């Protein structure tokens, strides 16, 4: 379909394979391609199966875009949030087949699916906002609380209480 996401339709299942380099970073172009694939799946009246290449589902937002300036970061987060809302409201079932690491927005995408399956291995799946001492946003907390069992939710949003803030200061959690 695109260089960023491969779209294949087979027996009513639209498979979207993230294929955006080494960590499947979510850039404005990837999010636009994702939405285009969802448009096509909706037109095809298909169940959606999303996966990544072997070893990585998604490393989250593209850090080059996030560090390019406040306007670019804000626009990327807004489009990523709109994609999450779209996945949550998609008219057909959405299945995420986690093919490896799923960090930050990659993990949030997993939470947006109706069903999640994953490959066994030494992969990290997590909301790295917690790990780097950032405050978790309300939408993320609500999504995690609604999709995770209580113990998993507590680990996901409270796990880093002893982690010191990243260099640059501010925002760290401590006991």
3-state secondary structure of 116: strand
Copy the structure tokens of residue 144: 């995690």
Report strand pairing: 13-18 vs 100-103.
Answer: unpaired
Residue 37, pLDDT above cutoff 90: yes
| Residues 85 and 52 sit within 8 Å (Cβ to Cβ) | no
Q: Which domains does the chain have, with CATH numbers?
A: 5-126 (3.90.226.10), 129-164 (no CATH)
pLDDT one-digit tens code per residue, 95-132: 999 999 998 899 889 999 999 999 999 988 887 766 66
CB 40 within 8 A of CB 85: no
Query: Is 70 exceeded by the pLDDT of residue 172?
Result: no
pLDDT at 173: 29
33 contacts 4 by C-beta, under 8 angstroms: yes
The CA distances from residue 38 to 7, 18, 47, 174, in Å, are 9, 13, 10, 41
The mean pLDDT of the chain is 83
Rounded Cα gap, residues 146 and 162, in angstroms: 25
Highest mean pLDDT among 1-5, 55-59, 123-127: 55-59
15 pLDDT band, cuts 50/70/90, is very high
Taking the model in full, what pTM does it have?
0.82
């Amino acid at each position: 379909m695109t260089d960023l996401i491969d779209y294949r339709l087979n027996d009513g299942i639209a498979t979207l394979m993230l294929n955006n380099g080494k960590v499947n970073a979510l850039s404005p172009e990837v999010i636009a391609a994702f939405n285009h694939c969802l448009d096509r799946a909706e037109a095809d009246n298909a169940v959606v199966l999303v996966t990544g290449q072997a070893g990585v589902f998604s490393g989250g937002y593209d850090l080059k875009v996030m560090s390019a300036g406040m306007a670019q970061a804000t626009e990327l987060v807004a489009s990523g949030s709109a994609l999450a809302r779209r996945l949550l409201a998609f008219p057909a079932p959405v299945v995420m087949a986690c093919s490896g690491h799923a960090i930050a927005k990659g993990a949030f995408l997993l939470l947006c699916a109706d069903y999640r399956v994953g490959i066994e291995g030494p992969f990290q799946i997590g909301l790295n906002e917690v790990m780097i001492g950032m405050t978790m946003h309300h939408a993320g907390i609500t999504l995690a609380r609604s999709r995770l069992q209580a113990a998993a939710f507590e680990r996901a949003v409270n796990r880093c209480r002893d982690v010191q803030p990243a260099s640059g200061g501010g925002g760290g959690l401590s006991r």
